[in-house]
Amino acid sequence: MQDPIPINPLLKTESIAPAYAKILSGPTDALAKATRPGAGVHQRTPAQWAPLDWRPLENERADLFDEKALVAQFDYDRFLQDGYAVLKSVMTPQTIEAWTAALQYGQRLNDNLLQSDWSRIDWTGLGRRPPTKTLPPAAIANARGNSQAIPQSDDECGVLTLRRHSVFAEYFPAGHVPYLMNVLTHPQMLTLQRMCLASEAIYFDHNQLLTRAAGYAGGAWHSHKIGAGKDDCGVASPDHYQAQPNAAISLCYPQGFAADADGGLKIIRGSHFFRDPSHCRAVTDEEINQSWLKDRVHPVTGTPLVIEHLELPPGSIVCCLSHAAHGVAAKAKDRDTRWCSLHCYKKADDASRHVQPPSAVPPIWALKAQRGELSPALTELLRPSFDRALTGGRTEPYEE
Protein backbone atom coordinates (compact mmCIF):
# COMPACT_ATOMS: atom_id res chain seq x y z
CA MET A 1 0.00 0.00 0.00
CA GLN A 2 1.33 3.43 -0.96
CA ASP A 3 1.83 5.74 2.02
CA PRO A 4 -0.36 8.81 1.57
CA ILE A 5 1.21 12.23 1.44
CA PRO A 6 1.17 13.88 4.90
CA ILE A 7 -1.47 16.56 5.44
CA ASN A 8 1.22 19.15 6.20
CA PRO A 9 4.52 17.83 4.80
CA LEU A 10 6.48 21.02 5.57
CA LEU A 11 5.57 20.65 9.24
CA LYS A 12 6.01 16.88 9.51
CA THR A 13 9.53 16.67 8.11
CA GLU A 14 11.03 14.03 10.47
CA SER A 15 9.11 11.02 9.13
CA ILE A 16 8.46 12.15 5.58
CA ALA A 17 9.05 9.58 2.84
CA PRO A 18 12.09 10.18 0.57
CA ALA A 19 9.87 10.67 -2.48
CA TYR A 20 8.04 13.54 -0.77
CA ALA A 21 11.26 15.02 0.59
CA LYS A 22 12.57 15.12 -2.96
CA ILE A 23 9.63 17.04 -4.39
CA LEU A 24 9.69 19.49 -1.47
CA SER A 25 13.34 20.28 -2.19
CA GLY A 26 12.70 20.90 -5.87
CA PRO A 27 11.46 24.01 -7.72
CA THR A 28 7.85 24.98 -7.18
CA ASP A 29 7.17 25.31 -10.90
CA ALA A 30 7.95 21.61 -11.38
CA LEU A 31 5.49 20.62 -8.66
CA ALA A 32 2.92 23.07 -10.03
CA LYS A 33 3.20 21.43 -13.45
CA ALA A 34 2.69 17.98 -11.90
CA THR A 35 -0.47 19.18 -10.19
CA ARG A 36 -1.99 20.51 -13.42
CA PRO A 37 -2.18 17.66 -15.95
CA GLY A 38 -3.63 18.93 -19.19
CA ALA A 39 -3.62 22.51 -17.91
CA GLY A 40 -2.44 23.75 -21.30
CA VAL A 41 -5.97 23.49 -22.67
CA HIS A 42 -7.33 25.69 -19.88
CA GLN A 43 -6.49 29.11 -18.55
CA ARG A 44 -3.24 29.43 -16.60
CA THR A 45 -4.04 28.63 -12.99
CA PRO A 46 -2.93 30.49 -9.84
CA ALA A 47 -0.70 27.51 -8.95
CA GLN A 48 1.34 28.41 -12.03
CA TRP A 49 1.55 32.16 -11.39
CA ALA A 50 4.87 33.94 -10.96
CA PRO A 51 5.24 36.62 -8.24
CA LEU A 52 4.35 39.46 -10.64
CA ASP A 53 1.08 37.73 -11.59
CA TRP A 54 -0.40 38.57 -8.19
CA ARG A 55 -0.41 42.32 -8.78
CA PRO A 56 -3.37 42.46 -11.21
CA LEU A 57 -5.44 40.36 -8.80
CA GLU A 58 -4.89 42.90 -6.04
CA ASN A 59 -5.01 46.06 -8.17
CA GLU A 60 -8.13 45.31 -10.22
CA ARG A 61 -10.50 44.07 -7.53
CA ALA A 62 -14.17 45.00 -7.42
CA ASP A 63 -16.31 44.76 -4.29
CA LEU A 64 -17.56 41.29 -3.40
CA PHE A 65 -20.22 42.45 -0.96
CA ASP A 66 -22.62 45.22 -0.20
CA GLU A 67 -20.85 46.14 3.01
CA LYS A 68 -23.82 48.00 4.49
CA ALA A 69 -26.06 44.95 4.04
CA LEU A 70 -23.41 42.66 5.49
CA VAL A 71 -22.69 44.80 8.57
CA ALA A 72 -26.40 45.36 9.20
CA GLN A 73 -27.02 41.60 9.37
CA PHE A 74 -23.97 40.47 11.34
CA ASP A 75 -24.02 40.65 15.14
CA TYR A 76 -21.04 38.96 16.81
CA ASP A 77 -22.70 38.30 20.15
CA ARG A 78 -25.64 36.66 18.39
CA PHE A 79 -23.25 34.73 16.15
CA LEU A 80 -21.35 33.37 19.16
CA GLN A 81 -24.60 32.46 20.93
CA ASP A 82 -26.18 30.76 17.89
CA GLY A 83 -23.06 29.26 16.34
CA TYR A 84 -23.99 30.61 12.93
CA ALA A 85 -25.07 33.75 11.08
CA VAL A 86 -27.17 34.02 7.92
CA LEU A 87 -26.23 36.91 5.64
CA LYS A 88 -28.86 37.26 2.94
CA SER A 89 -28.30 38.92 -0.45
CA VAL A 90 -24.96 40.46 0.54
CA MET A 91 -23.14 39.77 -2.75
CA THR A 92 -23.24 42.44 -5.43
CA PRO A 93 -25.02 41.52 -8.71
CA GLN A 94 -21.63 41.38 -10.44
CA THR A 95 -20.30 39.09 -7.72
CA ILE A 96 -23.25 36.71 -8.07
CA GLU A 97 -22.62 36.35 -11.79
CA ALA A 98 -18.83 35.99 -11.53
CA TRP A 99 -18.91 33.65 -8.53
CA THR A 100 -21.45 31.36 -10.18
CA ALA A 101 -19.38 31.19 -13.37
CA ALA A 102 -16.25 30.43 -11.32
CA LEU A 103 -17.93 27.52 -9.52
CA GLN A 104 -19.26 26.13 -12.79
CA TYR A 105 -15.80 26.36 -14.34
CA GLY A 106 -14.21 24.65 -11.33
CA GLN A 107 -16.73 21.80 -11.58
CA ARG A 108 -15.95 21.38 -15.29
CA LEU A 109 -12.24 21.10 -14.46
CA ASN A 110 -13.04 18.47 -11.85
CA ASP A 111 -15.25 16.48 -14.22
CA ASN A 112 -12.64 16.66 -16.98
CA LEU A 113 -10.01 15.16 -14.69
CA LEU A 114 -12.38 12.43 -13.52
CA GLN A 115 -12.93 11.35 -17.12
CA SER A 116 -9.31 11.69 -18.25
CA ASP A 117 -6.60 9.05 -18.60
CA TRP A 118 -4.94 8.97 -15.18
CA SER A 119 -1.95 7.07 -16.54
CA ARG A 120 -0.84 10.40 -18.04
CA ILE A 121 -0.60 12.02 -14.61
CA ASP A 122 2.96 12.64 -13.39
CA TRP A 123 2.64 10.42 -10.32
CA THR A 124 6.37 10.48 -9.64
CA GLY A 125 6.24 14.27 -9.64
CA LEU A 126 3.52 14.02 -7.00
CA GLY A 127 5.71 11.83 -4.79
CA ARG A 128 4.31 8.34 -5.33
CA ARG A 129 4.44 5.34 -7.63
CA PRO A 130 1.70 5.13 -10.27
CA PRO A 131 -1.35 3.35 -8.84
CA THR A 132 -2.16 -0.12 -10.13
CA LYS A 133 -5.91 0.24 -9.65
CA THR A 134 -8.37 2.59 -11.31
CA LEU A 135 -11.74 3.98 -10.29
CA PRO A 136 -14.65 1.95 -11.67
CA PRO A 137 -16.78 3.72 -14.31
CA ALA A 138 -19.79 3.78 -11.97
CA ALA A 139 -17.81 5.71 -9.33
CA ILE A 140 -16.70 8.25 -11.93
CA ALA A 141 -20.23 8.68 -13.24
CA ASN A 142 -21.56 9.19 -9.70
CA ALA A 143 -18.93 11.86 -8.94
CA ARG A 144 -19.43 13.89 -12.12
CA GLY A 145 -21.27 17.14 -11.44
CA ASN A 146 -21.01 16.68 -7.67
CA SER A 147 -18.61 17.30 -4.81
CA GLN A 148 -17.45 14.92 -2.07
CA ALA A 149 -18.55 11.95 -4.17
CA ILE A 150 -15.17 10.54 -5.23
CA PRO A 151 -14.26 7.34 -3.33
CA GLN A 152 -11.38 8.37 -1.07
CA SER A 153 -11.05 5.93 1.84
CA ASP A 154 -7.51 5.06 0.74
CA ASP A 155 -4.96 5.84 -1.97
CA GLU A 156 -5.17 2.62 -3.98
CA CYS A 157 -6.33 4.51 -7.08
CA GLY A 158 -4.35 7.66 -6.23
CA VAL A 159 -7.39 9.67 -5.14
CA LEU A 160 -5.89 10.79 -1.83
CA THR A 161 -2.73 11.95 -3.57
CA LEU A 162 -4.76 13.92 -6.13
CA ARG A 163 -6.88 15.40 -3.36
CA ARG A 164 -4.04 16.52 -1.10
CA HIS A 165 -2.12 18.01 -4.00
CA SER A 166 -5.33 19.70 -5.24
CA VAL A 167 -5.03 18.09 -8.64
CA PHE A 168 -8.79 17.85 -8.28
CA ALA A 169 -10.22 21.35 -8.57
CA GLU A 170 -12.79 20.33 -5.96
CA TYR A 171 -10.14 20.64 -3.25
CA PHE A 172 -8.61 24.11 -2.93
CA PRO A 173 -10.41 25.41 -6.03
CA ALA A 174 -8.82 28.83 -5.41
CA GLY A 175 -5.63 27.28 -6.76
CA HIS A 176 -7.39 26.49 -10.05
CA VAL A 177 -9.79 29.37 -10.60
CA PRO A 178 -8.47 32.96 -10.44
CA TYR A 179 -11.80 34.40 -9.31
CA LEU A 180 -11.93 32.04 -6.33
CA MET A 181 -8.38 33.02 -5.39
CA ASN A 182 -9.62 36.60 -5.52
CA VAL A 183 -12.42 35.62 -3.11
CA LEU A 184 -10.09 33.78 -0.73
CA THR A 185 -7.72 36.75 -0.39
CA HIS A 186 -10.18 39.63 -0.91
CA PRO A 187 -10.02 42.30 1.84
CA GLN A 188 -13.81 42.16 2.25
CA MET A 189 -13.72 38.38 2.77
CA LEU A 190 -10.91 38.75 5.29
CA THR A 191 -12.84 41.45 7.12
CA LEU A 192 -15.82 39.11 7.37
CA GLN A 193 -13.59 36.40 8.83
CA ARG A 194 -12.16 38.80 11.41
CA MET A 195 -15.73 39.64 12.40
CA CYS A 196 -16.60 35.94 12.79
CA LEU A 197 -13.47 35.03 14.74
CA ALA A 198 -13.22 38.28 16.76
CA SER A 199 -9.53 38.38 15.90
CA GLU A 200 -7.35 40.61 13.75
CA ALA A 201 -4.95 37.73 13.03
CA ILE A 202 -6.65 35.08 10.91
CA TYR A 203 -5.30 32.12 8.95
CA PHE A 204 -6.45 29.82 6.18
CA ASP A 205 -7.71 26.29 6.90
CA HIS A 206 -9.42 24.86 3.79
CA ASN A 207 -11.42 25.70 0.68
CA GLN A 208 -13.76 23.40 -1.29
CA LEU A 209 -16.33 23.26 -4.01
CA LEU A 210 -19.65 22.05 -2.60
CA THR A 211 -21.64 21.29 -5.74
CA ARG A 212 -24.98 19.47 -5.31
CA ALA A 213 -26.55 18.25 -8.53
CA ALA A 214 -30.15 17.17 -9.14
CA GLY A 215 -30.88 13.89 -7.37
CA TYR A 216 -28.32 14.46 -4.59
CA ALA A 217 -29.29 12.19 -1.69
CA GLY A 218 -28.45 14.64 1.11
CA GLY A 219 -25.62 15.01 3.62
CA ALA A 220 -25.57 13.41 7.06
CA TRP A 221 -25.55 15.36 10.32
CA HIS A 222 -22.06 16.15 11.62
CA SER A 223 -19.81 18.81 13.11
CA HIS A 224 -16.09 19.47 12.79
CA LYS A 225 -13.15 19.23 15.14
CA ILE A 226 -10.83 22.13 15.89
CA GLY A 227 -8.09 20.26 17.79
CA ALA A 228 -5.91 21.53 20.67
CA GLY A 229 -7.90 19.43 23.15
CA LYS A 230 -11.08 21.43 22.51
CA ASP A 231 -13.18 18.60 21.05
CA ASP A 232 -15.37 16.10 22.92
CA CYS A 233 -14.42 17.89 26.13
CA GLY A 234 -17.67 19.20 27.57
CA VAL A 235 -19.88 22.26 27.32
CA ALA A 236 -18.21 25.67 27.03
CA SER A 237 -19.43 29.08 28.14
CA PRO A 238 -19.46 31.83 25.47
CA ASP A 239 -16.29 33.44 26.86
CA HIS A 240 -14.50 30.09 27.07
CA TYR A 241 -15.65 29.18 23.58
CA GLN A 242 -14.51 32.46 22.05
CA ALA A 243 -11.00 32.04 23.49
CA GLN A 244 -10.39 28.68 21.76
CA PRO A 245 -8.44 28.33 18.49
CA ASN A 246 -11.73 28.42 16.60
CA ALA A 247 -12.37 27.85 12.91
CA ALA A 248 -15.18 29.61 11.05
CA ILE A 249 -16.73 28.14 7.92
CA SER A 250 -18.28 30.46 5.33
CA LEU A 251 -20.67 28.67 2.99
CA CYS A 252 -21.21 30.91 -0.01
CA TYR A 253 -24.28 30.46 -2.23
CA PRO A 254 -24.33 32.81 -5.23
CA GLN A 255 -27.61 31.31 -6.44
CA GLY A 256 -29.14 30.55 -3.01
CA PHE A 257 -31.47 27.59 -2.43
CA ALA A 258 -35.06 26.79 -1.44
CA ALA A 259 -36.07 25.24 1.89
CA ASP A 260 -37.58 22.09 0.38
CA ALA A 261 -35.60 19.39 -1.47
CA ASP A 262 -33.04 21.83 -2.90
CA GLY A 263 -29.77 20.72 -1.34
CA GLY A 264 -30.07 23.41 1.31
CA LEU A 265 -28.27 23.73 4.60
CA LYS A 266 -29.85 22.61 7.88
CA ILE A 267 -28.32 23.52 11.22
CA ILE A 268 -28.91 23.41 14.98
CA ARG A 269 -28.67 26.69 16.86
CA GLY A 270 -26.47 26.45 19.98
CA SER A 271 -25.10 22.98 19.22
CA HIS A 272 -21.54 24.29 18.96
CA PHE A 273 -21.27 24.88 22.72
CA PHE A 274 -21.40 21.10 23.31
CA ARG A 275 -18.16 20.58 21.33
CA ASP A 276 -19.16 17.00 20.52
CA PRO A 277 -18.07 16.10 16.96
CA SER A 278 -17.52 12.41 17.78
CA HIS A 279 -21.14 11.85 18.84
CA CYS A 280 -23.12 14.58 17.10
CA ARG A 281 -23.74 12.39 14.06
CA ALA A 282 -26.78 10.94 12.32
CA VAL A 283 -27.93 10.08 8.81
CA THR A 284 -31.44 11.52 9.02
CA ASP A 285 -33.31 14.26 10.89
CA GLU A 286 -35.37 11.60 12.63
CA GLU A 287 -32.25 9.82 13.84
CA ILE A 288 -30.61 12.90 15.34
CA ASN A 289 -33.91 13.98 16.91
CA GLN A 290 -34.16 10.62 18.68
CA SER A 291 -30.51 10.43 19.67
CA TRP A 292 -28.09 13.31 20.16
CA LEU A 293 -30.72 16.06 20.05
CA LYS A 294 -33.24 14.46 22.42
CA ASP A 295 -33.90 16.60 25.52
CA ARG A 296 -30.95 18.93 24.85
CA VAL A 297 -31.37 22.62 25.54
CA HIS A 298 -29.31 25.65 24.58
CA PRO A 299 -26.66 26.18 27.29
CA VAL A 300 -27.22 29.96 27.29
CA THR A 301 -30.91 30.49 26.50
CA GLY A 302 -32.32 27.24 27.91
CA THR A 303 -34.53 26.71 24.84
CA PRO A 304 -34.74 23.21 23.31
CA LEU A 305 -32.33 22.54 20.47
CA VAL A 306 -34.16 22.07 17.17
CA ILE A 307 -33.32 21.54 13.51
CA GLU A 308 -33.64 24.60 11.29
CA HIS A 309 -34.01 24.24 7.52
CA LEU A 310 -32.63 27.36 5.91
CA GLU A 311 -33.81 29.06 2.73
CA LEU A 312 -31.57 31.62 1.04
CA PRO A 313 -31.98 34.12 -1.79
CA PRO A 314 -29.16 34.51 -4.34
CA GLY A 315 -25.97 36.14 -3.13
CA SER A 316 -26.15 34.79 0.43
CA ILE A 317 -23.60 33.43 2.89
CA VAL A 318 -23.90 31.30 6.02
CA CYS A 319 -21.04 31.65 8.49
CA CYS A 320 -20.83 28.97 11.17
CA LEU A 321 -18.42 27.80 13.84
CA SER A 322 -16.89 24.38 13.23
CA HIS A 323 -18.58 22.67 16.20
CA ALA A 324 -22.06 23.68 14.97
CA ALA A 325 -24.10 20.60 13.99
CA HIS A 326 -25.19 20.77 10.36
CA GLY A 327 -26.36 18.64 7.46
CA VAL A 328 -27.56 19.06 3.89
CA ALA A 329 -31.06 18.42 2.57
CA ALA A 330 -31.60 16.15 -0.42
CA LYS A 331 -32.07 17.70 -3.87
CA ALA A 332 -35.00 16.66 -6.02
CA LYS A 333 -34.32 15.36 -9.51
CA ASP A 334 -36.15 18.27 -11.13
CA ARG A 335 -34.05 20.96 -9.39
CA ASP A 336 -31.11 22.85 -10.83
CA THR A 337 -27.60 22.33 -9.44
CA ARG A 338 -26.91 24.08 -6.15
CA TRP A 339 -23.67 26.02 -6.39
CA CYS A 340 -21.57 26.67 -3.29
CA SER A 341 -17.98 27.17 -2.20
CA LEU A 342 -16.66 26.72 1.32
CA HIS A 343 -14.02 29.06 2.75
CA CYS A 344 -12.68 28.21 6.21
CA TYR A 345 -10.34 30.38 8.30
CA LYS A 346 -9.09 30.05 11.88
CA LYS A 347 -7.62 32.04 14.75
CA ALA A 348 -5.01 31.45 17.43
CA ASP A 349 -5.78 30.16 20.90
CA ASP A 350 -6.07 33.22 23.14
CA ALA A 351 -3.96 31.63 25.90
CA SER A 352 -1.14 29.92 23.99
CA ARG A 353 -1.24 32.14 20.86
CA HIS A 354 -0.72 28.97 18.84
CA VAL A 355 -2.68 28.20 15.67
CA GLN A 356 -3.76 24.70 14.71
CA PRO A 357 -2.19 23.51 11.43
CA PRO A 358 -4.56 23.81 8.46
CA SER A 359 -6.51 20.76 7.37
CA ALA A 360 -5.94 21.22 3.63
CA VAL A 361 -3.12 23.37 2.23
CA PRO A 362 -1.65 21.58 -0.81
CA PRO A 363 2.17 21.24 -0.66
CA ILE A 364 2.69 23.53 -3.67
CA TRP A 365 1.01 26.37 -1.78
CA ALA A 366 2.86 25.77 1.48
CA LEU A 367 6.11 25.73 -0.48
CA LYS A 368 5.31 28.93 -2.35
CA ALA A 369 4.39 30.67 0.89
CA GLN A 370 7.53 29.47 2.66
CA ARG A 371 9.71 30.66 -0.22
CA GLY A 372 8.12 34.11 -0.51
CA GLU A 373 6.60 33.49 -3.95
CA LEU A 374 3.10 34.72 -3.04
CA SER A 375 1.54 38.00 -2.07
CA PRO A 376 2.26 39.08 1.53
CA ALA A 377 -1.42 38.68 2.48
CA LEU A 378 -1.64 35.11 1.17
CA THR A 379 1.72 34.19 2.68
CA GLU A 380 0.46 35.23 6.11
CA LEU A 381 -2.82 33.32 5.65
CA LEU A 382 -0.84 30.17 4.85
CA ARG A 383 1.78 30.58 7.59
CA PRO A 384 0.43 27.71 9.78
CA SER A 385 1.23 25.33 6.91
CA PHE A 386 4.99 25.81 7.32
CA ASP A 387 5.72 27.73 10.54
CA ARG A 388 6.13 25.25 13.43
CA ALA A 389 6.69 28.04 15.94
CA LEU A 390 3.23 29.41 15.13
CA THR A 391 1.64 25.94 15.49
CA GLY A 392 3.45 25.28 18.79
CA GLY A 393 5.14 22.24 17.26
CA ARG A 394 1.88 20.64 16.19
CA THR A 395 2.04 19.01 12.77
CA GLU A 396 -1.51 17.72 12.29
CA PRO A 397 -4.69 19.85 12.37
CA TYR A 398 -6.53 18.05 15.16
CA GLU A 399 -3.72 17.16 17.52
CA GLU A 400 -4.47 17.47 21.22
pLDDT tens for each residue of 157-180: 999 999 999 999 999 999 999 999
Is 6 within a domain? no
Query: How would residue 5 be classed by pLDDT, with cut points 50, 70 and 90?
Result: confident
CA distance 48 to 225: 32
Per-residue pLDDT of 71-116, as tens digits, reads: 999 999 999 999 999 999 999 999 999 999 999 999 999 999 999 9
Say if 26 falls within a structural domain. Answer: yes
Residue 369: beta bridge partners? none
Overall number of domains in the chain: 1
Question: What is the domain extent for residue 316?
Answer: 18-385
Whether residue 317 lies inside any domain: the answer is: yes
Q: Tell me if residue 280 falls in helix, strand or coil.
A: coil
Residue range 267-323, pLDDT digits in tens: 999 999 999 999 999 999 999 999 999 999 999 999 999 999 999 999 999 999 999
User: How much is the pLDDT for 3?
Assistant: 65
Decide if 398 is inside a domain: no
Domain assignment of residue 394, yes or no: no
Q: Is residue 397 part of a domain?
A: no
CA distance 115 to 37: 13
Q: Which segments within 25-175 are labelled E, that is strand?
A: 84-87
Identity of residue 239 = D
**Is residue 395 domain-resident?**
no
What CATH number is attached to the domain comprising 322? 2.60.120.620
Report the candidate in 235, 230, 223 with the shortest Cα–Cα distance to residue 325: 223
Percentage of the chain beyond pLDDT 90 is 89
| Start-end of H helices in 244-360 | 285-290
